[in-house]
Structure formats: structure tokens, C-alpha cells
């Protein structure tokens, strides 16, 4: 499957998800998601803004932040807090909580699903009286490519 194909498929899924939930998947929102899908390592808000501006000169920070708010709110994209970057969500429905492995060298983000780890985590939290809130956990981990070098 070429990157292009999977990106198109993801966009289609997003379309369907919005339709099903009565959400307005407007051109700006689509375009932002598409750009995120095309950039596997994620994009910073202002890089995204620059890309959008090339097509739509009137774009300003709120233009992209609003789209990003929409996408993250509806789980079509994630914000990597560590780097202030945004990535498209690659897991279809990502019903289960995700681990995000962020490579501190190159910035690559890998979305990992590991039920047993998450369970262990939740048990540990519960023992401390806490309750997991945001099921998106970021972890700094050297990626295989950077490990090699």
C-alpha cells in the first residue's frame, strides 16, 4: 500500500466518522488532516500554517489551531506535547488507549497499542488513588533507525 493510498483511506474514514456524528468536516479541516497524514513525523502548528498559507494566503494562527482543536477533540489527530507537534491518528477507531513513542533524536512518532502495559499502568495508578484520564501517554524512546546510528 503506498503512503498516498493509506492517506486517502484515512481521509475517507475521517469523512465517514464525521458524517456519522453530525460533525462538519469542512475544507480547512480536511486539508489540515491531509497534510498531517502526508507528514508522518508530524508537523508543528506554524509549519502547518505555512503550508496552508501557500494555498490560502489569508490563513493565520487561529485558522490552523481551530482545525487542530477540532481534529484532536474528535480523535482524528493527536498532539505530541513533548514537541508541540501534531500527528494524524493512524489507528482506525483507536478504541483502546495508545502509547506514543517519540524519538528524541529524529522526532518520529510511533503509535503503539499494548493492552497489558496499559492495564499494568492503570492498576498502578489506581493503587495510588488516581484514575487514568487522557489515554494518550507519551514516552521518549530512541527509534530503531536512530538506534542503528
Partner DNA sequence: GACATGGATGTGATGTTATAACATCGCGCT
Partner DNA sequence: AGCGCGATGTTATAACATCACATCCATGTC
CB of 139 to its own copies, least distance (A): 5
Three-state SS at 51? helix
Whether residue 99 contacts residue 114, with contact meaning beta carbons closer than 8 Å, is answered with yes
Helix 61-73 vs helix 45-55: crossing angle, to nearest 10: 120
Query: Residue 26 or residue 61: which is nearer to its own copies going by CB?
Result: 61
Looking at the Cβ atoms of 58 and 129, the one nearer to its own copies is 129
CA dihedral 60→81→36→42, nearest 10 degrees, is 110
Q: Which stretch binds DNA (CB under 7 A): 4-12, 64-72, 109-117, 131-139?
A: 64-72
Distance CA(36)–CA(38), nearest Å, equals 5
Q: Using the rule CB under 7 A, is 14 a contact of DNA?
A: no
As measured in angstroms, the least distance from the Cβ of 3 to DNA is: 24
**Under the rule (CB under 7 A), what is the footprint of DNA?**
23-24, 26-29, 44-47, 56, 58-63, 65-67, 69-70, 79, 84
Amino acid at each position: 500500500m503506498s503512503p498516498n493510498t493509506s492517506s486517502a483511506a484515512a481521509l475517507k474514514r475521517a469523512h465517514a466518522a464525521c458524517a456519522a456524528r453530525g460533525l462538519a468536516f469542512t475544507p480547512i479541516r480536511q486539508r489540515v488532516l491531509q497534510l498531517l497524514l502526508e507528514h508522518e513525523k508530524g508537523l508543528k502548528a506554524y509549519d502547518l500554517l505555512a503550508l496552508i498559507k501557500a494555498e490560502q494566503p489569508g490563513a493565520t494562527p487561529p485558522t490552523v489551531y481551530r482545525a487542530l482543536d477540532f481534529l484532536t477533540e474528535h480523535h482524528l489527530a493527536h498532539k505530541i506535547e513533548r514537541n508541540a507537534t501534531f500527528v494524524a491518528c493512524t489507528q482506525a477507531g483507536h478504541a483502546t488507549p495508545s502509547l506514543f513513542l517519540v524519538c528524541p533524536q529524529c522526532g518520529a512518532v510511533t503509535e503503539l497499542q499494548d493492552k497489558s502495559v496499559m492495564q499494568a499502568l492503570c492498576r498502578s495508578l489506581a493503587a495510588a488513588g488516581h484514575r487514568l484520564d487522557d489515554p494518550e501517554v507519551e514516552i521518549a524512546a530512541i527509534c530503531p533507525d536512530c538506534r542503528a546510528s
